[in-house]
A and B are shown apart, each in its own frame.
Chain A
Amino acid sequence: AQSVTQLGSHVSVSEGALVLLRCNYSSSVPPYLFWYVQYPNQGLQLLLKYTSAATLVKGINGFEAEFKKSETSFHLTKPSAHMSDAAEYFCAVSERNGNQFYFGTGTSLTVIP
């Protein structure tokens, strides 16, 4: 089974500062990789996904993530945090030859005015 590790269950940044949320996966074969966001009291929505095309993936709301095979990582970044970015962020994977879906434990992002 796949596993996804998100380092840091809580991250705080100042408004306008860089956002960096970390994600590592366990598979030796690079899976499909995703970042989902959950705003308070809502369901999840897709931010971006990696499916083996470009290693730098751009998503919605100014977020992007870089796939690094050598580090088995897929960290999420945004150059300048906005108050509206406060939410819970989940990294997730899907195996290339499977139909299951695995989420990380999530990182709660707080943006300080």
Chain B
Amino acid sequence: EAQVTQNPRYLITVTGKKLTVTCSQNMNHEYMSWYRQDPGLGLRQIYYSMNVEVTDKGDVPEGYKVSRKEKRNFPLILESPSPNQTSLYFCASSLYGPTNEQFFGPGTRLTVL
């Protein structure tokens, strides 16, 4: 089944404790992206990747890192999480870029205490 998977689905952590949210797609898509969703703000793009080893900042990259060593994986790294990073995170992928249909993962709900 074609899909985007994210792990974990739920995470509660404390300020400053490094964490990684994994994202994987099995559709051989070149474009992958991370978004955070907050009430009243919609979804905002954190980072995106056009292909392996090619990543770039979205609208809200502060406090996040990403890497794209393999085409299928695009992990999101929070090296020192803070409470303002409490949010619902979505990974998405599309064939070539954002103008193609993006397929979204199920989301990761992160709480930073």
Contacts and interface: CB of A to CB of B under 8 A. Distances in A.
A50 B57 CA distance: 25
Contacts of B33: 101
B50 interface: yes
A101 B48 CA distance: 9
Interface in A1-27: 1, 6, 9
B99 A51 contact: yes
A24 to B, nearest CB: 14
Nearest to A98: B98
B73 interface: no
Contacts of A45: 104
Given A43-B107, A44-B104, A99-B50, A32 B45 contact: no
Given A1-B59, A44-B90, A100 B99 contact: no
A106 B31 CA distance: 23
A105 interface: yes
B42 A100 contact: no
B98 A90 contact: no
Interface centre among A32, A43, A94 (most CB of B within 10 A): A43
Given A43-B107, A99-B48, A105 B41 contact: yes
Interface of A: 1, 6, 9, 32, 36, 42-46, 49, 51, 90, 94, 99-106
